[in-house]
């Protein structure tokens, strides 16, 4: 049980690097970092891109705060995961309506609709096992 908890902590910590590094770079560089983006960018487009990138970065920070006591963070983890999955569904809609994005965005889609839901299930399993073992995650 402790090994599984530690493995989940490590995997989530590594996964947090995606929104932290990508979100951070996107905040700093703006929309011009995207393939095909206008340079100079339209101010509204760049403003919105940096805003959404800030939310993405904050999501990485929020997930990172679940790592130390991940067996007690079910509600937070599921809320954050639902936010990621919702973003993935929006990205999938874009693919369907506008066309396939670049590799980096397809990687994001795999994370959003594949990896994160699996991590949510894994966190739930760890939390449930700790609760059943008498180690209430709420104390």
Question: Domain coordinates of the chain in residue numbers?
Answer: 2-132
Write the CB contacts of 45 (distance below 8 Å, at least 6 apart in sequence): 31, 37, 38
pLDDT at 1 (0 to 100): 85
- Express each pLDDT in 54-100 by its tens digit: 999 999 999 999 999 999 999 999 999 999 999 999 999 999 999 99
Model confidence, pTM: 0.90
Q: What is the torsion angle, in degrees rounded to the nearest 10, for the CA atoms of residue 96, residue 37, residue 50 and residue 41? A: -140
Residue 136 banded pLDDT, cuts 50, 70, 90: low
Share of the chain above pLDDT 90, in %: 91
User: SS3 of 29, please?
Assistant: helix
The answer to whether the CB of 114 falls within 8 A of the CB of 79 is no
- Express each pLDDT in 73-82 by its tens digit: 999 999 999 9
């Amino acid at each position: 049980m402790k090994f599984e908890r530690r493995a989940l902590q490590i995997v989530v910590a590594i996964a947090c690097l995606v929104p932290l590094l990508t979100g951070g770079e996107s905040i700093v560089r703006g929309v011009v970092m995207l393939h095909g983006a206008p340079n100079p960018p339209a101010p509204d487009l760049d403003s919105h891109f940096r805003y959404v990138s800030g939310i993405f970065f904050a999501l990485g920070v929020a997930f990172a705060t679940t790592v130390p006591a991940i067996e007690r963070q079910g509600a937070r983890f599921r809320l954050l995961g639902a936010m990621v999955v919702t973003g993935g569904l929006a990205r999938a809609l874009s693919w369907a309506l506008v066309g396939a994005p670049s590799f980096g965005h397809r990687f994001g889609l795999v994370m959003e609709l594949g990896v994160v839901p699996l991590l949510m299930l894994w966190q739930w399993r760890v939390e449930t096992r700790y609760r059943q073992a008498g180690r209430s995650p709420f104390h």
